[in-house]
Amino acid sequence: MRTPEPVEVTRARYDRLASVYDLLEWAPERARFGRWRARLWRHVPPGRLLEVGVGTGKNMPYYPSDATMTAVDISPRMLARATRRAARLGRDVRLHLMDVQSLAFPDAAFDAAAATFVFCSVPDPVRGLRELRRVVRPGGRIYLLEHMRADHPVLGRIMDWLDPIVVRLMGPHINRRTVANVTAAGLAIEAVEDLTPMGIVRLITARA
């Protein structure tokens, strides 16, 4: 594996994107992402919940109403937008500037955790997923909505070739093997749901 890039690079990238992020995502959000978010959050029981890589707060409308919500992001500018969205929605969310690769929470601090379209950008995804395993109580669940490398061998190879270009232009990696990364982090996979052909977008439920 290549050496992960410093997290400052990710932070700078999302700080730059923050002001146009919602606009760029407007069409896919309406077409599919909104539906997929609702599908993920339908599974999440109330309790002490952590969202990592909260971005501009697009999942906030779907949070369980009686949950105690904490959310983190590495980008101050994305987080500022999330703060404004929480206020607009009247949601009580504890927001922190924090790297998922080294979370400042004690072990077993949460009943469950969730992330949407995040582990494509985290420099060392297995390290981040291990942190989720640590901060979620044993037996608690981790819910992920992520795009990843296609299962199809030819398309998978094409994604490998294109990845360095996409990372430079837009930020996220398009060839992450996120299901394998979840297992490598020591989480037990409970369900993997393909939301697109060839497994490019998947909803993963795992147990800490």
Ligand X SMILES: C[S@@+](CC[C@H](N)C(=O)[O-])C[C@H]1O[C@@H](n2cnc3c(N)ncnc32)[C@H](O)[C@@H]1O
Question: Under the rule (CB under 6 A), what is the footprint of ligand X?
Answer: 7, 10, 14, 52-55, 58, 72-75, 78, 99-101, 116-118, 121-122, 172
Residue labelled with tokens 């981040």: 128
Q: Closest CB to ligand X among 3 and 154?
A: 3
**Closest to 50 measured CA to CA, from 26, 75, 71, 65:** 71
**Closest to 205 measured CA to CA, from 141, 116, 136, 134:** 141
Question: How does 127-147 read in b/e, with b if 16+ C-beta sit within 10 Å?
Answer: bbbbbbbbbbeeebbbbbbbb
Q: Closest CB to ligand X among 174 and 187?
A: 174
Q: Closest CB to ligand X among 25 and 151?
A: 25
CB of 54 to ligand X, least distance (A): 6
Q: Closest CB to ligand X among 27 and 157?
A: 27
CB of 152 to ligand X, least distance (A): 23
Residue labelled with tokens 């990372």: 167
CB of 114 to ligand X, least distance (A): 9
**Closest to 103 measured CA to CA, from 51, 62, 162, 57:** 51
CB of 154 to ligand X, least distance (A): 26
